[in-house]
Amino acid sequence: MNVWFITKGLLLNDHAAVMPGEPGGRPADQRRDAPGRPESQSRSTRAGSMHRPVVALIALAAAGALAAGCGGNGPSYGGSGGGPYGSGGAPTGTAPSGVATVAATSTKLGQILVDGNGRTLYLFQKDQPDQSACAGGCASAWPPDQSSGTPKAGSPVQASLLGTIKRSDGTTQVTYNHHPLYYYSGDSGAGQQNGQGLNAFDALWYVVAPSGETVTSATS
């Protein structure tokens, strides 16, 4: 351990200290022992007084080395949390590696498509069948409903109308009756249809019925 090397080094320095009257030290005739005290006793007293601070230094060095050795072994905290929201607080509709579910729910617009969490899904009238015309800033305001595999149909959605397309960024978007499906960033939770009938990015946005038809009635 590092403590052993520190201790050994200090002890070597202690033994290497030059004592008065030894080679490299002061001449023997310059020693100033107390009158009447034997020279050996005087030398022993001086050596003992020098050794005590060295022992204290060794103890301090050992404690510091032990503290340093223990550092970095404590718990490390970090990581990041994720929720059902993408950029700008818009819902992504599914976990990053999850399979999307498309279901339907009853609203004042009638039965409309929602995701597995009850969030409203929309179509974009600028889209062509199985082709999305919404990217960049449009996709930030109207996030695509993504899936990592074949989407699941909840009641009373028709599984035969479900499909997927590949987007230009490589992600997979859910379609229904060949309409690419989207969320609206202005919906903060399930049961909201704030995007219904909006004219944005050069076309209108509408909710979708389980039959695959566009629901054009605006919310009141």
- pLDDT bracket for residue 61 (50, 70, 90): low
- pLDDT bracket for residue 166 (50, 70, 90): very high
pLDDT digits (tens, 9 = 90+) for 66-124: 444 444 333 322 222 223 333 334 444 444 458 999 999 999 999 999 999 999 999 99
Is it the case that residue 40 has pLDDT exceeding 60?
no
Q: Which long-range contacts (CB under 8 A, 24 or more apart) does 154-160 make?
A: 154/101, 154/102, 154/103, 154/104, 154/116, 155/103, 155/104, 156/104, 156/111, 156/210, 157/102, 157/103, 157/104, 157/113, 157/210, 158/210, 158/211, 158/212
Is it the case that residue 52 has pLDDT exceeding 70?
no
N-to-C CA span, the chain: 77
Burial track 83-97 (b if 16+ CB lie within 10 A, e otherwise): eeebeeebbbbbeee
Mean pLDDT over each residue of the chain, to the nearest integer: 73
Q: Which amino acid is at 134?
A: C
Is it the case that residue 12 has pLDDT exceeding 80?
no
Nearest one of 194, 183, 187 to 113, comparing CA atoms: 183
Q: Report pLDDT for 188.
A: 94
Q: Report pLDDT for 45.
A: 52
Q: Report pLDDT for 165.
A: 98
| Rounded Cα gap, residues 12 and 133, in angstroms | 80
pTM, full prediction: 0.58
Q: Report pLDDT for 51.
A: 52
Q: Report pLDDT for 48.
A: 53
- pLDDT bracket for residue 218 (50, 70, 90): low
| Rounded Cα gap, residues 168 and 185, in angstroms | 21
Q: Which residues contact 205 (CB under 8 A, 6 or more apart)?
A: 122, 123, 124, 125, 142, 182, 184, 195, 196, 197, 198, 199
| Rounded Cα gap, residues 105 and 36, in angstroms | 110
| Rounded Cα gap, residues 62 and 194, in angstroms | 68
- pLDDT bracket for residue 58 (50, 70, 90): low
DSSP string for 36-84: TS-HHHHHHHHHHHHHHHHHHHHHHHHHHHHHHHHTT-S---------S
Q: Which long-range contacts (CB under 8 A, 24 or more apart) does 103-107 make?
A: 103/153, 103/154, 103/155, 103/157, 104/154, 104/155, 104/156, 104/157, 104/210, 105/191, 107/191, 107/193
- pLDDT bracket for residue 39 (50, 70, 90): low
Q: Report pLDDT for 7.
A: 42
